[in-house]
Amino acid sequence: MKIYEGRRTMDGLIVTVDGKPLSEHYEVKQFTRRGFEWTYDGSSPQQLALAILFDHLGDKDSAISLSEPYMKDVVANLDNDWRLSSDEVEAYLSSNGARRQTARKGGPQ
């Protein structure tokens, strides 16, 4: 199980997966040049949603298509310091029918 964490520090925002920096995955899609953010709807929170989903799913198309709803439902509601497990990401995807959609499109199951 992976652990995603975000913190606001004096030096800026830190986002990790299993204690290592989480890539913005601009090679998948770039919503912003400003990096990650959370606690609101916007391009930087959507970049965080995309990065978490791509890391979790390993599928570019699914991560892109799910990034907006995941940003609105999850990332925009995170506290200043937060922690998500891959089980929580999977639970969100399952409860919103997203896994069934990506499976039909040929994504991971």
Q: What is the pLDDT of residues 46-99, one digit of tens each?
A: 999 999 999 999 999 999 999 999 999 999 999 999 999 999 999 999 998 765
- Residue 35's domain comprises 3-103
Domain annotation covers residue 108: no
Find where tokens 């290592």 sit. 20
Domain annotation covers residue 24: yes
Domain annotation covers residue 45: yes
- Establish how many alpha carbons lie within 13 A of residue 109's alpha carbon, considering only the half-sphere containing its beta carbon: 5
Q: How many domains does the chain have?
A: 1
Say what percent of the chain tops pLDDT 70. 89
Domain annotation covers residue 109: no
The set of residues, in sequence order, having a beta carbon less than 8 Å from that of 25 and lying 6+ positions away, is: 50, 51, 54, 55, 63
Predicted model pTM? 0.89
Domain annotation covers residue 80: yes
